[in-house]
Structure 1
Amino acid sequence: MSPPVDTRPARGQLGAGRRWSMLAVSTAAQASSATMVHGPAFLIPTLHREAGMSLAEAGTVAAAPMAGLMCTLVAWGLVVDRRGERFAMVTGLFAVSLAGLAATLVGGVAAMAAALFVAGAASGATNAASGRVVVGWFPPDRRGLAMGIRQCAQPLGVGVGALTMAVLAEQYGVHAAIVVPTALAAAALVLVAVVLIDPPRPPATDAAARPNPYRSDRYLSRIHGTSAMLVVPQFVVWTYGLTWLVDDLGWAAGAAGGVVAATQLIGALGRIGAGQLSDVVRSRLRPMRWIAWAAAGTMLLLGITAGLSGPVVTVVAVVLLVVASAVTVADNGLAYAAVAERAGPFWSGRALGIQNTSQYLVAALVPPVAGLLITHLGYGWGFAVAALLPLLAVPLVPVRQEPRIG
C-alpha cells in the first residue's frame, strides 16, 4: 500500500500573508497560555496580605500552573509529532478554557490552585507546537525573526497578566482575576481553529529512518541546560518584581502592574531583536551567549541597588528592573529556533517539550525558593544570587558545535 499523500501546500505555495497570519495566531495562542501560567504570580501580593500567606506559600500557589505545565510538555510534544500542531493546540486550548473556568468558580485557594495546575498542564500544547509552525513555513534566513516574534508571546502574556490580574485581585479577589486568562484562551481557541494549517513534512514512512538527535551528540542537551539556567533570573524578576515594587517601595498595585507590563513589552521587542540579529550573524547561539553575559551583569547591579536606600538609588534600581526584564527573556527564541532546526520534523515536538520541561522544572522552583531567600535576606540578595546562573551558563552554550545557518 502506498503512503498517504500530504495535500497541504508547500512553503513556496503558501502566500507570505498567510504565513504571517498563522504566526500571529500561534503567538496569540501562546500569549493566552502564558497569561494563564505566569499570571498567578501577580496574585502574590493579595495572597500575602489578605489571605495571610507567607511569600513562600503564595509563591507555591503561583507556581501551580507551571508545575502542571512541566508534567505534560513532553507528552504534548509527542502529540504534536504524531497529530500535528493544529490538533494539539485546539485540544489544549479547549482544556485550558475549561480548567480556567473551574478556577474562577471553585471555593478556596487550594481548589483554585488545583484547577490552575490542570490549566497549566493543558497549556503545554501551545508550548510544544511552537517549533514546526515556524521551521515548516519560514525559510532559514527568516526563522530567527519569526521565532523571535513567536516567543514574544510569553512576555506579552505576562504583561497582560501584570496589567490586569493584580488590580482585579486587589479589588474583586483572586478568583475573579483568573477570568482574564480564561477568556483569552477561549478567544485563541477560535482563532487557531479557523486560521492555522499544519506545515508539510516528509511522508510518515520516513520517520523510522530519522535518527534520534539526542544520540549523535550533546548539542541539544547543552542548549536545554543553558536555557534552564537562564530562566532563573527571568522568573525571579517576573515573580517578585511587582511584589518588590508594592511591598518594599510602597507602590500601588496598579502603578506597579503598569511598570511590569511595560517591561514585558520591552522584553518582547528584545526577543524580536535577538531573532533578527541571529539571522544577520547566521548563528542562534553566539547571541545567546552574549545575552547570558548581559543577564548576569544586569541582575547583579539590580541586586546591589535594590539592597540600598535613597531616592536616586531607588530610581536606578527600578530602571535596572526594566532592563533586567528585557534582557533575561531575550534568549528564549534563539534557543527554540536552534532546537527545532536541529531536531527536524519528526522530533521537534518532543525536543521542544524537553526544552520547555527543563525550563519549567527550574521555573517552578523559583517562586518558593526565591521567596524564602527574599524573606530571610531581602530583595537585593534575591536578585543578586540569580545573577550566578547566567554566569554559569556562558561556557555551556555549544557555539562551536553549531552549524552555519543558510
Structure 2
Amino acid sequence: MSSPCVSTRLPSRRWLILAVGVAANTAFSATFNGLPTAAIALRAQFGLDAVQLGWLLGAMGLGIAVSELPWGALTDRWGDRPVLITGLGGTALMLGVLAWASAAVPGGSGARVALGAGLFVLGVFGGSVNGASGRAILQNFPPHERGMAMSVRQTAIPLGGALGALLLPVLCNRYGMAAGFTMLAALTAGSLAAVVIWLKEAAPVSGSSPADERHRVGRKTLLASADGPRAALRDREIWRLALGTGLLCAPQFAVLAFGVLFLHDHAGLSAAHAALVIVALQVASMVARILCGRRSDRRGDRRAFLRRACLLNAAVFAVLGLSAFDPVARVMHGVPGGGAAFCVLMLFLSGVCISAWHGVAYAEVGGVAGVNRAGTALGITNTAVFLANFAAPVACAQFLTHLGWPAVWLAAAVCALSVRPLFGGREQHERLAQGGDR
C-alpha cells in the first residue's frame, strides 16, 4: 500500500502559512492579552472599581467564547481564508470604533456600559482567529510535526501579549485609551493584509484519497470526520480535552488580567516596571511553548505531559498564593528588596509554567479530531478557553475584593490540580501504534 501523499505545495508553503497564522494570532493576542496591562489607565479614565474592571476585562473573553464554535463550524464548511478575512476585518473595524468612542464619549456609567458592549462585539469578531488559523496549520503540516507547529502558532499568544504590554501602558497612560485602540486597529489591519495576500486554501497533507486518510488516522477518525462539525460535537473525548484545556487556562488569565495590578498594588512596583515583568513573562512563554511542542512530537506522550503540567502549575501557584499572605510578606519585606523580588519571581514562574503547555493541548485536540473536523474541534476548545477568559477576571475580582491576593492565587492552584483527571486516556504512543493521529 502506498504511503499517504503530500500536497506538492506543502514543503514550500507550510512555513508561510504558519507565519500568517502567527501574525493573525499575534494581532488579536495584543488586544485581548494586552488590554489588561493597560488596566491602570482603563481604571483611571473610566472610574472603575475592581469588580467593574473584572467585568470589563471579561467581556471580550465572553464574546470570543460565544462565537468560537460557530466560527469553527463555518471554517470547516467555508475554509480558513474567508473566515479569517471576515473576522480580522470586523476586529479592525471594531477597534477603530472603540478608539473613536474613547476619545469622543465622556466617562460615566453609560460610557462603561458602552465600552463593555464594544469589547464583547470585539471578542465575537476575534473568535474567528483561533480555529481558522489552527485548521490552516493542521491542514498544511504532517501529524508528526503538528505539536511543534501548533506550539509555534501558540507563541503568538505571548508574543502579542508582550507587544501589547510593551506599548499599551505607555500609549494609554500618556494619551488615553483611544491611542491604544488605534494602535491595535493598525496591527490587526496589517495581519488582515497578510491573510489576503498569502493565505490560500490547500489540500490536507494526507491527500484526498479515503484509503490514504484511513491509513493515516484509522477507521474511527475517518468515519467520524465524514460529517464534520456534527461528529465533532458528538465526540466525548473532544469535549473532555476541551474542558480540560479551558479550565487549565483560567490561572493564566488570572495572571494576565491581574498580574500588573498585583505587582503594582501588592509588590509596590511602578506601572511601567510591572508591565515590563509581563513582557518578560510573555517572551519566556514563547520559548517554553516551542520547547514543549518539540518535546511532545519526539516522545508522543501529550496526555502524560499535560497531566504533569497540571501538577507543576498547582505547585507554583500554591507558592505564589502563600507568599501573598501578610505574615509571609512581612518576613520577605524584612530582607531588603526581598518581598518585591520574590513576588516578581513567583508571578514570572507561574505565568511561564501556565503558558508552556498550550500548543501540546491544541495538537492533541487536532489529532483526536482529524483535519476534516478540526475547525469545529478547535472551536469547542476555544469556547472553553474563552469562557475561562471571561470567568477568571470576574472571579479574581471577587476573591481580591473579599479575601485578598492569597485567595486569588490559591484558587488558581486548586483549579490547575482539579483539571488533571480530564487529561486521562490512552497515551499518544499507544494511539500511534494503532494507527492514530501521527
Question: TM-score, normalization: structure 2?
Answer: 0.85
Deviation sequence 1:235-290 (CA, Å, 0-9, x none): 11111111111222232222211110110011111111111111011132221111
Shift of 1:199: 2.7
Please show how residues 56-71 of structure 1 align to structure 2 within 5 Å.
56-71=51-66
Are residue 341 (structure 1) and residue 364 (structure 2) matched?
no
Q: What CA RMSD, in Å, does the superposition of the two structures yield over aligned residues? A: 2.1
8 A contact 2:60–2:123 mirrored in 1: yes
Instruction: Classify the secondary structure of the residue corresponding to 2:269.
Output: coil
2:413 to 378, 384, 387: 387
- Aligned residues: percent identity? 31
Q: Residue in 1 aligned with 2:35?
A: 40
8 A contact 1:158–1:264 mirrored in 2: yes
8 A contact 2:65–2:387 mirrored in 1: yes
Are residue 321 (structure 1) and residue 347 (structure 2) matched?
yes
Question: TM-score, normalization: structure 1?
Answer: 0.92
Question: Which residues of structure 2 form unaligned runs of 5+?
Answer: 106-110, 211-222
Please show how residues 180-219 of structure 1 align to structure 2 within 5 Å.
180-201=183-204, 202=208, 208=226, 212-213=231-232, 215=234, 218-219=236-237
Shift of 1:39: 2.4
8 A contact 1:266–1:326 mirrored in 2: yes
Q: Which amino acid aligns with 2:345?
A: V
Please show how residues 4-403 of structure 1 align to structure 2 within 5 Å.
11-14=6-9, 16-106=11-101, 107=105, 108-201=111-204, 202=208, 208=226, 212-213=231-232, 215=234, 218-307=236-325, 308-309=329-330, 310=333, 311-400=337-426, 402=428, 403=431
8 A contact 1:66–1:364 mirrored in 2: yes
Rg (Cα) greater in structure: 2
8 A contact 2:17–2:137 mirrored in 1: no
8 A contact 1:373–1:382 mirrored in 2: yes
8 A contact 1:11–1:136 mirrored in 2: no
How far apart in 1 are the matches of 2:227 and 2:389? 35
Q: Which amino acid aligns with 1:212?
A: A
8 A contact 2:303–2:427 mirrored in 1: no
Q: Which amino acid aligns with 1:21?
A: L
User: What is the number of residues matched between the two proteins?
Assistant: 395
Instruction: Classify the secondary structure of the residue corresponding to 2:356.
Output: coil
Distance 1:298 1:203, change over 3 A: same
8 A contact 1:44–1:59 mirrored in 2: no
How far apart in 1 are the matches of 2:291 and 2:164? 23
Question: Which residues of structure 1 form unaligned runs of 5+?
Answer: 1-9
8 A contact 2:232–2:376 mirrored in 1: no
How far apart in 2 are the matches of 1:214 and 1:189? 29
Q: Residue in 2 aligned with 1:5?
A: none
Q: Which amino acid aligns with 1:369?
A: A
Shift of 1:401: 6.0
8 A contact 2:310–2:416 mirrored in 1: yes
Shift of 1:180: 2.4
Distance 1:318 1:90, change over 3 A: same
